[in-house]
Amino acid sequence: MTKGLTKINLVALTFGFAFLYVPILILVFFSFNESRLVNVWGGFSVKWYGELFQNEDLLQAAWISLLLAAAASTLSVILGTVAGFVMARFTSFRGRTLFSGMIYAPLVMPEVITGLSLLLLFVSIDWGRGLGTMIIAHTSFCMSYVAVVVQSRLVSFDRSIEEAAQDLGATPFKTFFVITLPVIAPALVSGWLLSFTLSLDNVVITSFTSGPGWDTLPVKIFSAVKLGVKPEINALSTIMIAIVAIGVVTASIVQKRAMVERQRAERMAAAAND
């Protein structure tokens, strides 16, 4: 029994990681390229980063993307929590299977169809396309993810703490806000983050539902690339990768710290009990 790497494991691991990360590394590498040509190395430079921050157009798109992602994920958390709550708590009402199926459907629905149908809806009710329609469109697919996260959290939720709150004098309404919500808050946060990332990189549905002047960053990148990849885009992508990486690493460090702290406290309690 060996826990170290055998040769075959090492090869498999290398290929696996290479497959995942070589394209990204190449992108990052060329974002520091002096040359305008993407695939020819012309020396180290950060000039594309500088140009990026001169590019009003891209900055505007980035701002729209963040605004849209924040609004859509907040709305998704509210609606998704309600939907997840109903699915977890009301387990036997007429049409429940249909209802839960309809909540999951957007997860597997081709984005082209979702986008097209939303476009048709907005056109038919004559709603001018802009940030509002994009928020609605993004919420419509993000809330399904939140609903799934919240539902699975509530399934393992100890209902007796809600009963205890009511027993001590809190109305069911108040119990939801002072007991249930704080306890499931981590699920809401992760649902929000998930929605945020999904919204941030969505291209297809966004293209269908955005109006002129409301291009998001991914849409901008997508259309820019059609005219040839500029090193600026590489720089922009590198920044996005950095933001996501920092976010993920921070979240996992925070979680790990909380776990270690908790274990320490439990050991202390166990020792006090002896």
Partner 1 sequence: MNTASAARVPFEPWNDPKAKPYIRIVNVTKTFGDFVAVDNMNLDIYQREFFSLLGPSGCGKTTLLRMLAGFERPTSGRIELDGVDMSTVPPYERPVNMMFQSYALFPHMTVEENIAFGLRQDGVPKEERNRRVEEMLTLVQLTKFGKRKPHQLSGGQRQRVALARSLVKKPKMLLLDEPLGALDKKLREQTQFELMNIQEQVGITFVIVTHDQEEAMTVSSRIAVMNHGRIAQVATPTEIYEYPNSRYVAEFIGDVNVFEGRLSDVAPDHVVITSAEAGTQVYVDRGTSAALGATVWVAVRPEKLDVSLTAPEQPDFNCVKGTVWDIGYLGNLTIYHVRLADGKKVTAAVANRTRLRDRPITWNDEVYLSWAADSAVVLVS
Q: Tokens 């020792």 label which residue?
A: 271
**Whether the Cβ atoms of residue 30 and residue 45 lie closer than 8 Å to each other:** no
Q: How far is the C-alpha of 29 from the C-alpha of 242, rounded, in Å? A: 13
Residue in 149, 139, 150 with CA at minimum distance from that of residue 176: 150
Torsion 177-178-182-184 (CA) sign: negative
Cβ proximity to partner 1, 120 vs 258, nearer residue: 258
Interface residues toward partner 1, by CB under 8 A = 158, 160-161, 163-172, 174, 179, 182-183, 262, 265-266, 268-270, 272-273
The residue type of 244 is: V
Six token digits for residue 252: 């996992």
Q: How far is the C-alpha of 113 from the C-alpha of 103, rounded, in Å? A: 16
Cβ proximity to partner 1, 47 vs 267, nearer residue: 267
**Whether the Cβ atoms of residue 118 and residue 209 lie closer than 8 Å to each other:** yes
Q: What's the min distance (Å) between Cβ of 269 and partner 1?
A: 5
Cβ proximity to partner 1, 146 vs 165, nearer residue: 165
Q: What's the min distance (Å) between Cβ of 130 and partner 1?
A: 40
**Whether the Cβ atoms of residue 48 and residue 229 lie closer than 8 Å to each other:** no
**Whether the Cβ atoms of residue 208 and residue 116 lie closer than 8 Å to each other:** yes
Q: What's the min distance (Å) between Cβ of 183 and partner 1?
A: 6
Cβ proximity to partner 1, 50 vs 186, nearer residue: 186
Cβ proximity to partner 1, 59 vs 178, nearer residue: 178
Q: What's the min distance (Å) between Cβ of 191 and partner 1?
A: 18
Q: What's the min distance (Å) between Cβ of 188 and partner 1?
A: 13
Q: How far is the C-alpha of 241 from the C-alpha of 249, rounded, in Å? A: 12
DSSP per position, 26-38: HHHHHHTBSSSST
Q: What's the min distance (Å) between Cβ of 145 and partner 1?
A: 24
Cβ proximity to partner 1, 8 vs 168, nearer residue: 168
